[in-house]
Amino acid sequence: MYLIIGLGNPGAQYAQNRHNIGFMLIDALSREAGFGPERKKFQSLIHEGQLGDEKLLLMKPQTFMNLSGHAVGEAMGFYKLKPEQIIVFHDELDLAPGRFRAKTGGGHAGHNGLRSITAQMGPNFVRGRMGIGHPGDKSLVHHWVLSDFAKSDQDWLEAQISACVKALPILLKDGTEKYQTEVMRLAPAPKLDPLKSAPLT
């Protein structure tokens, strides 16, 4: 069994924020995979279903971003899961819009959702890092992540979410490196003005 978490903030006013790209992915995955209806459990909105031979629990914590770990910890304890069975999709300031990286472990780089989850279980869970770019000034970060994606972002945003969903069986079977390669093959990052986006790392 795998627990797949998308990070974001609850409430309609946050639904299209850059910070909510993880929620967007969970919504797309539940639709595409034909999972069961959404319900409330573990301080989250969840979907349960099957992908191939694997049972999955999809979660959108409703605790607000900086307390996401409480919800994740509840589900992890209930199912007696190990950190390597936890997959977290989140926005990533340090990647240009449309870039994607997948890895196990690492720091939280100031991301409050990751900080909260790490405090509950340590760092050794899988991360799907979905690039949203950086506004260029640290003082603008809070406004940037809590602002909606622009209309010009929609093509790469939809392509990346679709690729992450479509390639997910590769992550479950073959790990992060092959998954990352397949996601970027399906949804190559757009060419952006380097003065208006994060470094292409």
DSSP 8-state code for residue 132: -
Mark whether 19 is an active-site residue.
Answer: yes
CA-nearest of 41, 50, 39, 110 to 76 is: 41
Cβ-contact 183, 171 below 8 angstroms: no
CA distances from 49 to 25, 30, 57, 199 (A): 15, 8, 7, 37
Any residues with CB less than 8 A from the CB of 51 and at least 6 apart, and which?
A: 33, 168, 169, 172
What is the amino acid identity at position 49? G
DSSP 8-state code for residue 148: B
Annotated catalytic residue within 19, 47, 111, 134: 19
E strands of the chain, at which residues?
A: 2-6, 39-41, 44-51, 54-61, 86-92, 100-104, 126-131
- As annotated, the active-site residues are 19
